[in-house]
Each structure stands twice: as C-alpha cells, then as structure tokens.
C-alpha cells in the first residue's frame, strides 16, 4: 500500500507540474517495464522524436523505462485515473482491463508473422483500441513481440512432455488455460522474479520469446528452448482517455501518425534483434533450440477458440475477423 500511495503521489505531482505549462507544450509521460536497450524502448524513443517533429514541438513524449513509474498493472491503473499520460503493456496483461484483448492472446490464432502484422495494422486493431475508451484509456499502437515458446531444462516435443511441469505464465486467463489444456501446471509469477524461480526450481519452465533468454539471462538457468510458437502476443501502447480527449485534433493526428510509423520501425528492429538473440543464446549461453511438431499442441488448445467466441458476440466477431485476415 505504501509503494502504491508513493507512486500515485509522485505521478500526480508530476502531472500537476506538466499541467502548469500545457499552454506552451504537452509533455506526455510514458511508462514501461523494460530496459533501455530493449527494442520496445528504442522504438518508443523513435516515436517521441517523430511526435515532436510532426507537432512542431507542441507534443513531446518522455519515456520512463524499467518500471520507474510502477509495474505494468500499476501504470495502467494510474493511466485510467488520468494520473499518468501513457503506458506500454501487452495484450495478455490487458485482458484484465478489456476483454477484447483476449482475442489476440489465443494460442495459434495467427497462422504466420505476416498474418499477425496484418491484424495489428487492421480495423480489428482499431476496434480493440477503442473498446476501452469508457474504461479510461485507448490504444495507439500494437508492438510486435515475437512468438512465445516453452523453455526449460528438457525438451518439450509434445503436450505429454509438459505433464506435471510447473510453468510460469503471465497473470492472464488465456495463458493459464492454455498450459492447463497442454497438461502443465500454470504458475503465475512476476517476470522480475522468474530468473530465481527457474534457478531454485520453484518453476520447471516458462514461456516467452527468444529475447528473454538473453536480455534477462534466462538462458543461464533454462538450457532448452522448444519452438512450439504457441502465441504471438503483441505489446500495446495506450493513452489515458482523459489526456486523449484533452488534446487538440492536430496533436491527436501527430500521435497517431507517429505511432503508426513506430509500428513499422519496431517490427524491423524487433525481428532483426530476434535473430541476433537466438544466435547469442546458442553460442554464448549454449541453449539448445528444438523444432517441434505443432499439430498436437494446436489440437490440444483449439477448444479455447470456440469457448472465447461463445463468451460474447463481440469476441466471436473479433475471432472470426482475425481468422478471416489469414486468407
């Protein structure tokens, strides 16, 4: 409680200071939980430069990395209340705030990286962005975050290999259900605690993109990466509804344009760094990469698609439209 109160006080004070100079320029504070050498941070800095250029200096972005302004959940809650301008999280985390994001976290909903990016730049994405407007925030851009696979100290070639294994997952209903259907024991643990949890055997494995092996050194404590590529969960950049509605139309346009340019910049950077991360994991950390037959994994989790579509007409429509864009 003390930490949360301290965060709210610090951000509120900062917001008031910015408000005092709003007539001159609007400086938007952006929170994320990744290090400064992560592609997401580099891409947000690119966007900040473009926003400043496109708005003639009327709108600026100040990026706060490494969860300086709170965890992903804390940042979203502050943003909802208008105490923080912008936050970068991911679709799995956002399920708890707006159900539309759950359509993007279904395992094997995307048939390829091309299909994935086509959806992220489509009217489907715009509908997801605006679905949360009355909940205190709207989306501005999706950020590719690669495909997620299982890693542990043994090969996971089929769902049978997951039986009895404690697998760290994000606090996402979709992630928990997926691991259960595959036979594992889902164990929600914060990302910052995962290295020690793997090292000490609190969990037997985890699931993430290859960057996690290198960026946070998970490859030191998990030596086999089994590429089942079960999900492609995008990052999402959002802005407070209160802040968005308070911007002039030209400023909104500058933000949207810069956000769209950032998406392409980020995709190129991320995919390049993924290849570099895989090579570094193999050569420097001696991680073994295993290609698996995806068929059994897909069959095991396919009921999730129908179950989600049955929850509401809105979700059924999103799932159908996402699959339709694969054609």
> What is residue 296's predicted lDDT score, i.e. its pLDDT?
97
**CA-atom Rg of the chain in angstroms:** 20
Cα separation, 14 vs 29, whole angstroms: 9
Residue tagged 């994000």 (tokens):
170
pLDDT of residue 192: 85
Contacts of 238 (CB under 8 A, 6+ apart): 76, 79, 86, 87, 88, 89, 132, 137, 138, 139, 140
Angle at which helix 303-311 crosses helix 313-324, to 10 degrees, equals 130
Same domain? For 88 and 9 the reply is: yes
3-class SS shares of the chain: helix, strand, coil, % to 5:
55, 20, 30
CB burial class (10 A; 0-12, 13-18, 19+) of residue 222? Answer: buried
pLDDT recorded at residue 19: 46
Number of domains in the chain: 2
Of 153, 163, 155, 160, residue with least CA distance to 201: 153
Considering the domain architecture, whether residues 179 and 223 belong to the same structural domain is answered as: yes
Tell me the pLDDT tens digit for each residue of 81-115: 999 999 999 999 999 999 999 999 999 999 999 99
In percent, the amount of the chain with pLDDT more than 90 equals 86
Q: Which residue ranges in the chain fall short of pLDDT 50?
A: 17-23
The residues, any chain, with a CB within 8 Å of residue 164's CB and separated by 6 or more, are: 183, 184, 185
Same domain (yes/no): 250, 224: no
Q: Where are the beta strands (DSSP E) in the chain?
A: 26-31, 59-64, 86-90, 137-143, 148-152, 166-169, 185-188, 205-208, 224-231, 235-240, 288-291
Q: Is residue 55 part of a domain?
A: yes
* Domain limits for position 61: 2-93+113-144+234-274
Q: What does the block give as tokens for 103?
A: 């359509």
What is residue 214's three-state secondary structure? helix
Q: For the residues of 22-83, what is the DSSP string, one character each?
A: TTT-EEEEEE--S-TTSHHHHHHHHHHHHHHHHTTTSEEEEEE-TTTT--HHHHHHHHHTTS
**Could you tell me if residue 239 is inside a domain?**
yes
Same domain, 79 and 177: no
pTM: 0.87
DSSP character at residue 287: P
CA-closest candidate to residue 51, choices 72, 25, 83, 24: 25
Q: Which residues pair with 2 in a beta bridge?
A: none
Q: Write down the pLDDT at residue 18.
A: 45
Look up the CATH number of the domain holding residue 314.
Answer: 3.40.190.170
Residue 288 included in any domain: no
Q: Based on the domain organization, do 172 and 157 belong to the same domain?
A: yes
pLDDT digits (tens, 9 = 90+) for 228-257: 999 999 999 999 999 999 999 999 999 999
Q: Whose CA is closest to 89, among 101, 73, 102?
A: 73
What pLDDT shows up at residue 190? 86
What pLDDT sits at residue 35? Answer: 87
* Closest by CA position to 198, among listed 287, 108, 88, 90: 287
| % pLDDT > 70, the chain | 93
pLDDT score recorded for residue 115: 98
Smallest Cα–Cα separation from 42: which of 273, 209, 240?
273
Does the residue 86 lie in any domain? yes
Nearest partner of 192 among 11, 10, 34, 47, judged by Cα = 34
The reply to whether 37 falls in a domain is: yes
If asked whether residues 73 and 139 sit together in one domain, one would say yes
- What pLDDT is recorded for position 170? 86
Structure tokens at 132: 């949360």
């Amino acid at each position: 409680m003390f930490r949360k109160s301290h965060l709210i006080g610090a951000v509120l004070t900062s917001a008031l200071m910015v408000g005092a100079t709003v007539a001159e320029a609007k400086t938007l504070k952006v929170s994320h939980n990744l290090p400064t050498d992560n592609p997401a941070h580099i891409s947000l800095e690119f966007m900040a430069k473009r926003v400043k250029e496109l708005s003639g200096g009327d709108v600026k972005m100040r990026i706060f990395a490494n969860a300086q302004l709170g965890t992903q959940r804390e940042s979203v809650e502050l943003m909802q209340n208008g105490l923080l301008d912008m936050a970068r999280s991911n679709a799995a985390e956002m399920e708890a705030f707006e159900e539309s994001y759950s359509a993007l976290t279904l395992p094997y909903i995307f048939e390829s990286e091309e299909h994935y990016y086509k959806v992220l730049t489509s009217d489907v994405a715009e509908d997801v962005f605006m679905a949360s407007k009355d909940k205190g925030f709207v989306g501005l851009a999706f950020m590719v975050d690669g495909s997620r696979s299982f890693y542990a100290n043994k090969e996971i070639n089929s769902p049978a290999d997951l039986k009895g294994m404690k697998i760290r997952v994000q606090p996402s209903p979709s992630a928990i259900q997926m691991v259960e259907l595959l036979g594992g024991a889902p164990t929600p643990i914060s990302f910052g605690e995962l290295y020690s949890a793997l090292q000490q055997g609190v969990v037997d494995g985890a699931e993430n993109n290859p960057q996690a092996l290198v960026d946070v050194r998970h490859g030191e404590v998990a030596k086999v990466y089994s590429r089942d590529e079960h999900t492609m969960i995008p990052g999402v950049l959002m802005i407070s509804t209160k802040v968005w509605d308070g911007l002039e139309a030209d400023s909104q346009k500058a933000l949207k344009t810069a956000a769209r340019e950032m998406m392409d910049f980020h995709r190129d950077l991320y995919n390049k760094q993924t290849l570099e991360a895989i090579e570094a994991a193999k050569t420097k950390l001696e991680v073994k990469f295993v290609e698996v037959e995806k068929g059994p994994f897909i069959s095991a989790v396919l009921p999730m698609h129908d179950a989600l579509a049955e929850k509401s007409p809105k979700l059924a429509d999103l799932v159908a439209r996402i699959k339709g864009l694969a054609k």
